[in-house]
Amino acid sequence: MMVLSLVPATQLCYGLICKSNFREKVEKMVKGIAAQRKKVHFKPGNPYFPRKNVALMSEEGACSSSAEEDASSQPENLPRPLLRPRRNLQGEQPNLGNFIISERQYLSILETLHMDLLKHDEDCNSRQLFITDRHKLGLGQKHAIGCKNCKFVSKRVQTYDECKASKRPAVNLKYGAGLLDTPIGIDGGNILLASMDIEPPARSAMQRIMNLVSEKTIELNKKDMEEKRRLVVKHNKEHGVKDPNHLSLSFDGRYNANRMFSSYKPGQASSQAYGVAIENHTEHKYVVALAVQNKLCWTGAHLRNKGFKVTCPGGHTGCTANLPYMKPHSERKMAYDIADELSKEDILVRTLTTDGDTQAYLGMTEFYEQHLDKVWTVTRKADPQHLSITQMKKARRSDWSKSMFPGRTTLKARREACAALSMDIRTRCNAIIEKLKERGNGDITSQLHFLPQVCRATVECYAGNCSYCPHDSLICGGTGGVGDWWFHSQFLPTRDVHRLDMTENDKLLMASVLQVRLSEQAVKSVSDNTSTQKCEAFNRGVLSTLPKHVNLSKNFEGTLHAKTLKLNNSLEYSVQTKTSSLTGEPLAKASKYLAQASERGKHHQKYQKTDTYRRQRKSRRAAMERRYYKSKKEGNYEEEYSKGQLDDPGHHNY
């Protein structure tokens, strides 16, 4: 609780020209302060209750006091009012709540307290200890312990370990580093502490700590990604690559919005985005570069609301935005920045695997055209999974004849059969590409001359003519038995589609659908056996700490780099590295749990790559397809969801 002093007012008045209006303002200010002290801060009877009269301005311009008139009414040796008096803890009920204490400091406190009590009074047989004073520093505290029986009061002792590089409590920095690995934020973490009856730290103090931890984490992860790039170059040298500094990367961008455009906000719906580049040379698939675009700046928004004319980015100190709010996110610019970062280490991007909705390879090409003396072209590679989705969409949107699916008279039934056919075409094309790789010993480009025959045999096989299958289809024996594709199909027999009555137009449509995956250009685009699936997995991992509905204006980049440090290494390495760099000491008791958690994660990743797991997963999916269609056929599965219910009067009755 703060009490204002009147001494600065007298210093302000001394030597000034005593105009009437200025004197009236000062008198009004002084009277207001005195009234506030009487009304708010203290009650009568309190030893700190203020004097009745206050300093007023004299007619000559100097300040005078009526202290002589009130000297008889004031007690002698009145203590000076405290600016921030501490609360008295003696009247509080002891042992309430919890707090965090270091084991090292706990033993030191016990030893020191025991020795001090013996020195003070050895005959005190009934120790009644209590905390006489408590000074809170986030999750750390400083205590003074007293004894009610012998009136002993110890010196103030701290319950936390200090950082080696500073006097900060180490527990606060560890708490901030832990929050950086979770999506709950400061408020969620404080609620968790309050639920355990631990007094949470101040939000403003924790925000400063989080900013410090975020900056340190960004620095650590950038050094780690630099080390990973050196490992990739070393790997290429060991495997005899002609140009080890020429890398093959996969790139993908992620936005903090579920939709690209919003129904209530102009322009893009997202305000934060990042691009990730992952190498395709080692089995680890390291993240080698990140590019962040942030439109949010809390400080700039606060200043603008206060009337200051500031612009973001870069228009004021501490600006966190690096992109104007009305400028859209650009994966092309992200790729440009990544190429710029890699070029500082003489690393060039040879091929870039992307999905179908980005121009990232153009950004890298633009950078090399501007900054390289030689001609350098970045070859764009396609992701097989995105190509498959494109093929499925084309199959569903094709104008098949009404007689193509026998027995399907309704539009809904034909759509279901068309969906099953699209999934079957995707699975069959994937199997054909794998067979072509086996024939070419991994080099699929050497088998391009087989593609026309394969496409012709596949179309005729779907039409019911398997005469070409034994020689050209690669995956269908054409015998009508176990070696037939229709026998092993996961989707068509399950949906009671046992034959297709295709017209000549249907055959042309089928050939065009197959060309999405089995054309010469499409096969060349996937010839390097690279994909963006590791980028998608990285995005799913980041989603656990950076949900799309949460906007972190200041610590967005730090949280992203913290997750990258973990995914590039392990949980144990990331936590221990952050903690030791922030506090100067590694974790002690938690190291065993971190090692076990990291081992479980590595075992799970290794198991997911085994052939046994993949066969079991495929078998489970096929069984789910059969059970789903069986329950739907028996009438046990009814969908109530359908679009446009408000537009169709038959779906509702108000």
For 108-124, write each residue's pLDDT tens digit. Answer: 888 887 777 777 766 67
Task: Determine, yes or no, domain membership for 491.
Answer: yes
Task: Determine, yes or no, domain membership for 607.
Answer: no
Are 379 and 405 part of one and the same domain? Answer: no
- Residues 454-509 have pLDDT tens digits of 999 999 999 988 889 888 888 888 877 777 888 888 888 888 888 899 999 999 99
Are 372 and 432 part of one and the same domain? Answer: no
**Arithmetic mean of pLDDT, 233-256:** 93
Task: Determine, yes or no, domain membership for 93.
Answer: no
Are 81 and 110 part of one and the same domain? Answer: no
Range of the structural domain that residue 503 is part of = 397-525
Percent of the chain with pLDDT over 90: 46
**3-state DSSP call for residue 168?**
coil
Higher pLDDT, 95 or 189: 189
Encode 80-120 in three state secondary structure.
CCCCCCCCCCCCCCCCCCECCCCHHHHHHHHHHHHHHHHHH
Task: Determine, yes or no, domain membership for 438.
Answer: yes
Burial zone of 496 (CB within 10 Å; 0-12 exposed, 13-18 middle, 19+ buried): middle
Are 240 and 319 part of one and the same domain? Answer: yes
Are 346 and 478 part of one and the same domain? Answer: no
Pairing of strands 272-279, 246-255: antiparallel
9, 102, 125, 133, 154 from 114: Cα distances, Å: 51, 18, 13, 18, 10
Are 57 and 110 part of one and the same domain? Answer: no
Element (H, E) at 275: strand 272-279
| Predicted TM-score (pTM) above 0.95 | no
Element (H, E) at 319: none
Q: How far apart are CA 34 and CA 5, in angstroms?
A: 10
Task: Determine, yes or no, domain membership for 601.
Answer: no
Q: How far apart are CA 53 and CA 65, in angstroms?
A: 8
Are 239 and 370 part of one and the same domain? Answer: yes
Task: Determine, yes or no, domain membership for 531.
Answer: no
Burial zone of 157 (CB within 10 Å; 0-12 exposed, 13-18 middle, 19+ buried): middle
Among 85, 119, 144, which residue terminates a domain? 85
Are 170 and 218 part of one and the same domain? Answer: no
CA nearest neighbour of 255 among 539, 544, 541:
539
pLDDT at 56 over 50: no
Among 205, 224, 244, which residue terminates a domain? 205
Question: Which of the four pLDDT bands, split at 50, 70 and 90, describes residue 105?
Answer: confident
Among 28, 55, 85, which residue terminates a domain? 85
Indicate the number of domains in the chain: 4
Task: Determine, yes or no, domain membership for 160.
Answer: yes
Are 353 and 402 part of one and the same domain? Answer: no
Are 167 and 244 part of one and the same domain? Answer: no
Task: Determine, yes or no, domain membership for 462.
Answer: yes
**Arithmetic mean of pLDDT, 443-452:** 90
Are 560 and 491 part of one and the same domain? Answer: no
Q: How far apart are CA 335 and CA 355, in angstroms?
A: 14
Quickly count: other Cβ atoms within 10 Å of residue 438's Cβ: 12
Are 112 and 201 part of one and the same domain? Answer: yes
